[in-house]
Amino acid sequence: MKELFREDYPKIIDALKAVKINNLFARAVVENHVSGRVYVNDINNPTTFYVVHPYGMSLLFGKHDNQEFNQAFKKYALNKNGLRDSHEWMQAYPEKWDSALQQLFADCSIKSSENEPNQTKNIIEFNTRVNFKFNPSKYLELKKGIKIPRIPAIRTGKKEFENMQGTVIPLNFWDNANDFLENAIGYSTYYENELACTAYASFIMDGFLELGMETVPKFRGKGLARYTCSRLIDYSLENGHEPVWACRLENIGSYKLAQKLGFDDVLHIPYYRLSK
């Protein structure tokens, strides 16, 4: 595995655009919308690629049988060098990678349902990632049942960008507040004068807007996420963007929320949690 310099990222754009699963987070890195890392098997003539988004999502794609790269990648995936202090969530394309990875990780993998809590070292955990497809007519019908809170959502500004708490927040997907305000969009909802929920564009490109959303735990169950996300979906439709949603199948809350917002479950793919 060799890390690619930013000025060499254009070498892999065509290969990345040929990936048929949700890859907007990887394109955000390769097209220099956000800082990340790119690894390849060969600097001058790359055929195998690994793109890491700063949030921790990653994409492995290209030639699946570069054995030297694969063995180096296994060490990376298990964090044998100790360079990472958090795990990464990886998807791979094309499907040939799935059998190759099953063989590569045969002695160090486990299903998420069988893993013990907090067991993250020297283990590759198998999960499932769901890609959804937005259904406009379904959304318009479901939207009728969305309750508007006493304090309607506002456009996400610098204050909300910097103060929203949680994991899936704009701060983890955009380099800074100015970057977000110039290149993205979001809506935030307050509850009893506290910032409670933010729905935002984690990526916008080629007519697609991928939704990110976080609700402060103590404000969950009040319908704020559904309402706030609907504001962002309305913005997307008004501005010619197709809303995009993807999540782990194991994330029941996100999965059910997607369905309540008119998204259809269309594709399940293996999702690998790499060791930290």
Whether residue 251 is found in the same domain as residue 173: yes
Flag whether 271 is in a domain.
no
Q: Which two tokens stand for residue 212?
A: 């990110």
CA 172 to chain centre: 10
Domain that holds residue 171: 132-266
R_g (Cα) of the chain, nearest Å: 19
**Backbone dihedral angles phi then psi of residue 130, each to the nearest 5 degrees:** -110, 130
C-alpha pair distances (Å), 125 with each of 108, 161, 197: 9, 32, 30
* Per-position pLDDT tens, the chain of length 276: 999 999 999 999 999 999 999 899 999 999 988 889 999 999 999 999 999 999 999 999 999 999 999 999 999 999 998 888 888 999 999 999 999 999 999 999 898 887 766 666 788 999 999 999 999 999 999 999 999 988 899 999 999 999 999 999 999 999 899 999 999 999 999 999 999 999 999 999 999 999 999 999 999 999 999 999 999 999 999 999 999 999 999 999 999 999 999 999 999 999 999 988
131: helix, coil or strand? strand
Whether residue 214 is found in the same domain as residue 140: yes
pTM of the model: 0.91
Q: Which two tokens stand for residue 273?
A: 């949690």
Q: Which of 72, 107, 142 is the last residue of a domain?
A: 107
Flag whether 121 is in a domain.
no
User: Tell me, what CATH number does 21's domain have?
Assistant: 3.40.630
**Pairing between strand 88-93 and 57-62?**
parallel
The 10s digit of each residue's pLDDT in 135-171 is: 999 999 999 999 998 889 999 999 999 999 999 999 9
